[in-house]
Amino acid sequence: MQVTMRSENHVGYVTLSNPPVNAIGQVLRMGLLEAVRWAERGRLDRVIVSGAGGIFAAGADAKEFDAAPQEPHLPEVLNAIDESFVPWIAAIEGVALGGGAEIAMACRMRIMAPGARIGLPEVTLGVIPGAGCTARLPRLVGLQKAVEMITTGKPIGAQAACSVGLVHTVEDDPIEAAFLVNSEALGCIVPTWEYHAPAHDADLFRMARENLQAKMPGQEAPVRALEVIEAGLALPFHAALAYERRVFLELKTGSQSKALRHLFFAQRAAKAPAHLKGAALEVLHAAVVGGGTMGAGIAYALLSSGLQVTILEADAAGLKRAEDNIGKIIEASLTRGMIDAARAADLRSRLTLSTQYSQAATAQLAIEAAFEDMAVKQEILGKLDAVLSADAVLATNTSYLDINEMAAPLMDPTRVIGLHFFAPAHIMKLLEIVQGAQSSDRAIATGYALAKRLGKVPVRAGVCDGFIGNRILARYREAADTVFMDGSTPWEVDDAMVEFGYAMGPYEAQDLSGLDIAYANRQRQAPTRDPNRRYIPIADRMIELGKLGRKTSAGWYRYPGGGGKVEDPIVADLAIEEAHFSGITRTDYSSQEMRQRLVLAMINEAADILDAGIAQSAGDIDLVTVFGYGFPRWRGGLMHYADSLGVETIVAQLEILAQEDPIAWKVSPLLSRCADAGQSLAEARPMR
Ligand code: 3HC
């Protein structure tokens, strides 16, 4: 039974009960419809509907979206509630999301607990609300707020919901408050479907459309939601619902909804494997070595999660820099209203900065975030090893280096893992947990527990140059540089990738992070680089010219006065010169060709990564590319996108490119095996 009913003194208590989040599937819908008839048969005074387990309902069961819809459909169930002569009151605790919020909107009254949230996140799953919200919400809160809530998908808190008129009152015990509502007053409340629709506002829709095009380019659902809200204003209530339902069903089976659902479930599946249960060390105090941009971001994230944090630096100048860096993050959070003065004081009170490693002696976890140099990192780990307790976990935030080599000099290399954060570390969601050959279960479990505590998406990676994300990034950049040298410009490449759905292309992104980082990496790799592999020298010329990116006001673009980017003809000429020196006849690539090359290069590299067991699954690579590298979310991540193209197609396209350069475009054996076996990458069996 997913809906329980009981009555007492003519009051019906209906409880939604489908743990863990009371997702609304067919059984729950049937139960709800039965509850409407039950309340009518008993001629009850009212029904109070709430959710079991401290949560109202998280919306329609997204696991049912791939199957054909089964009766009774949610819109019919909610119409039955809305039109019933027995008034329903929604008593909301936890969250009322999507279909859960729509149940509440079909009730005569809504009462929320102070910490509860209500919202319509459907667009984040690539659909629009499909059970009456696009018609009911504008009637309840007006056009502007309804458009904002439906198109952004962002939930709001109880007080905000009350102030916009979405809920009637905020009470500590919403069920008790619903019981106390005066029957006469309740009888005077008009059913939601009888409310008048707000007047059409052409300017509001135009501005909302422009805003969506700017902020969510390529995403279908928010624009379709806007269209449905607008069309619904001119239709009778039930016709508006029918139109909404049609669009909901159309989007539900579309590629964007499939991609976004895939990511939703992949994100939830990204947690510590069962065999690590109970193995994590409890962390109360963490040390961060190095207070540069990355170290300060990590320290801020740790402080925000409630930990005691010690930042260790080499000398007084380092301490000053670390203090400034963390101070800037705290100030920026204050300015943006993300924290208040009391919270800022609390964060500062748990932070210690020192040059003495002994200050970190009680830390259960240390994360080194010094610059990318093996000897420096080994020395730091050695010092930490000497002062921290024997069971403490030592983590490195290295982006590329071999953590097995790093751990080797320690007495106990099993305590070492990689925790690869992404800048800005207090904002970016991804955390690569790098497992060395000897990393203990406890160290890995502690990494997962930390990710959970910080609200990050953990992805386990094996040891290789760049792990999952940076190894794919390196190949992406190599492909971009080849396209640039052989016939394009950085801005044409960037535009092509922005059209694909990235917020920025590879060149603008590199200007932000700095060209010197990739240069240092190329220098390190030089001795082991395949001498037969084509090397594109343009990025090295940029270093010679002092064009390091935004920090020098010039990189692939120029940034006059530190302002916005401007195309730089000198940079375009570098490719023409280098192509001339190498005897290359340049080609005029279309944006489609550029995109194809860059995306295929990433897919091919990712397939090798999967085959070697560096990534555990195609879904993990999707999480890395979306949450760490800006791959368009609505394409579901790199491997999901590859599967949507079809592995056979990918192999055929790679084989054509391999005729041009058999080394750079050597088809990954995993792709070939999948193509032969008719398997998708999601089903692929890696060699390991
Ligand atoms: N359908 C199916 N399963 C769902 C679900 C949903 N709508 N929402 C959550 N779950 C599952 C998760 O997959 C997870 O399963 P697992 O334990 O097997 O991994 C479990 O519930 C717990 O979820 P979380 O790990 O996310 O738990 P949290 O406590 O961190 O978060 C939450 C809870 C805030 C409710 C979050 O799960 C959430 O945001 N859910 C999605 C809400 C949503 O998008 N609703 C709209 C659905 S579409 C709709 O309603 C259409 C309608 O208009 C017709």
Q: 99 with 219, same domain? A: yes
Pocket flag, ligand 1, residue 221 (CB < 6 Å): no
Pocket flag, ligand 1, residue 326 (CB < 6 Å): no
Task: Point out the catalytic residue in the list 34, 76, 93, 122.
Answer: 122
Q: 189 with 280, same domain? A: no
Q: How far is the CA of 266 from the centre of ligand 1 (A)?
A: 12
Residue 665 lies inside a defined structural domain of this protein: yes
Task: Point out the catalytic residue in the list 71, 93, 102, 282.
Answer: 102
Pocket flag, ligand 1, residue 413 (CB < 6 Å): no
Pocket flag, ligand 1, residue 222 (CB < 6 Å): no
648 is catalytic: no
- State the total domains in the chain: 3
Predicted pLDDT of residue 417: 98
Q: Residue 337: give the domain boundaries.
A: 274-461
Decide which of 177, 205, 232 is a domain's last residue.
Answer: 232
Pocket flag, ligand 1, residue 62 (CB < 6 Å): yes
On whether the CB atoms of residues 15 and 51 are closer than 8 A, the answer is yes
Pocket flag, ligand 1, residue 129 (CB < 6 Å): yes
The minimum-distance atom of ligand 1 relative to the CA of 55 is: 35
Count CB neighbours of 605 within 10 A.
23
102 is catalytic: yes
Pocket flag, ligand 1, residue 75 (CB < 6 Å): no
Predicted pLDDT of residue 688: 65
On whether the CB atoms of residues 137 and 149 are closer than 8 A, the answer is yes
Q: 526 with 645, same domain? A: yes
Half-sphere exposure of 663 (CA within 13 A, CB side): 8
Sign of the C-alpha dihedral, residues 529, 530, 532, 534?
Answer: negative
Low-confidence ranges of the chain (pLDDT < 70): 688
Residue 267 lies inside a defined structural domain of this protein: no
Residue 252 lies inside a defined structural domain of this protein: no
User: Domain holding 217: CATH number?
Assistant: 3.90.226.10
Q: 551 with 635, same domain? A: yes
Name the burial class of residue 379, with classes exposed (0-12), middle (13-18) and buried (19+) by CB atoms within 10 angstroms of its CB: middle
Residue 350 lies inside a defined structural domain of this protein: yes
Predicted pLDDT of residue 111: 98
Provide the token pair at 243.
């139109």
Q: How far is the CA of 25 from the centre of ligand 1 (A)?
A: 12
Alpha carbon nearest to ligand 1 atom 26, residue: 268
State the DSSP code for 554. Answer: B
Q: 132 with 217, same domain? A: yes
Best of 21, 137, 256, 453 for a ligand 1 pocket test (most atoms within 8 Å of beta carbon): 21
Provide the token pair at 305.
């999660």
Pocket flag, ligand 1, residue 98 (CB < 6 Å): yes
Query: What does pTM read for this prediction?
Result: 0.94
On whether the CB atoms of residues 355 and 319 are closer than 8 A, the answer is yes
Residue 243 lies inside a defined structural domain of this protein: no
Q: 348 with 424, same domain? A: yes
Provide the token pair at 156.
């709001």
Q: 437 with 507, same domain? A: no
Q: 478 with 618, same domain? A: yes
User: Domain holding 673: CATH number?
Assistant: 1.10.1040.50
The minimum-distance atom of ligand 1 relative to the CA of 59 is: 50
Alpha carbon nearest to ligand 1 atom 38, residue: 58
Q: 164 with 23, same domain? A: yes
DSSP for 6-58 reads EEETTEEEEEE--TTTT-B-HHHHHHHHHHHHHHHHTT-SEEEEEEGGG--B-
Decide which of 198, 232, 266 is a domain's last residue.
Answer: 232
Q: 473 with 605, same domain? A: yes
Pocket flag, ligand 1, residue 63 (CB < 6 Å): yes
pLDDT for 629-667, tens place per residue? 999 999 999 999 999 999 999 999 999 999 999 999 999
Which amino acid would we find at residue 608?
A: D
Q: How far apart are CA 223 and CA 338, in angstroms?
A: 29
The minimum-distance atom of ligand 1 relative to the CA of 100 is: 50
Q: How far is the CA of 127 from the centre of ligand 1 (A)?
A: 14
SS3 of residue 142 by DSSP: coil
Q: 474 with 437, same domain? A: no
Alpha carbon nearest to ligand 1 atom 16, residue: 268
Task: Tell me the chain's radius of gyration from C-alpha atoms.
Answer: 28
Residue 259 lies inside a defined structural domain of this protein: no
Q: How far is the CA of 268 from the centre of ligand 1 (A)?
A: 9
Name the burial class of residue 366, with classes exposed (0-12), middle (13-18) and buried (19+) by CB atoms within 10 angstroms of its CB: buried
Q: 293 with 340, same domain? A: yes
The minimum-distance atom of ligand 1 relative to the CA of 129 is: 53
Q: How far is the CA of 216 from the centre of ligand 1 (A)?
A: 22
Backbone angles phi, psi at 611, to 5 degrees: -65, -35
Alpha carbon nearest to ligand 1 atom 10, residue: 21
Alpha carbon nearest to ligand 1 atom 25, residue: 268
User: Domain holding 359: CATH number?
Assistant: 3.40.50.720
Q: How far is the CA of 21 from the centre of ligand 1 (A)?
A: 6
Residue 260 lies inside a defined structural domain of this protein: no
Alpha carbon nearest to ligand 1 atom 36, residue: 58
Exposure b/e, 519-538, CB count within 10 A at least 16 = b? ebbeeeeeeeeeeeeeebeb
Q: How far is the CA of 226 from the centre of ligand 1 (A)?
A: 24
Q: How far is the CA of 454 from the centre of ligand 1 (A)?
A: 19
Decide which of 461, 483, 504 is a domain's last residue.
Answer: 461
Residue 539 lies inside a defined structural domain of this protein: yes
Q: How far is the CA of 264 from the centre of ligand 1 (A)?
A: 8
Alpha carbon nearest to ligand 1 atom 30, residue: 268
DSSP bridge pairs for 495: none
CA distances from 146 to 104, 150, 197, 492 (A): 15, 6, 12, 38
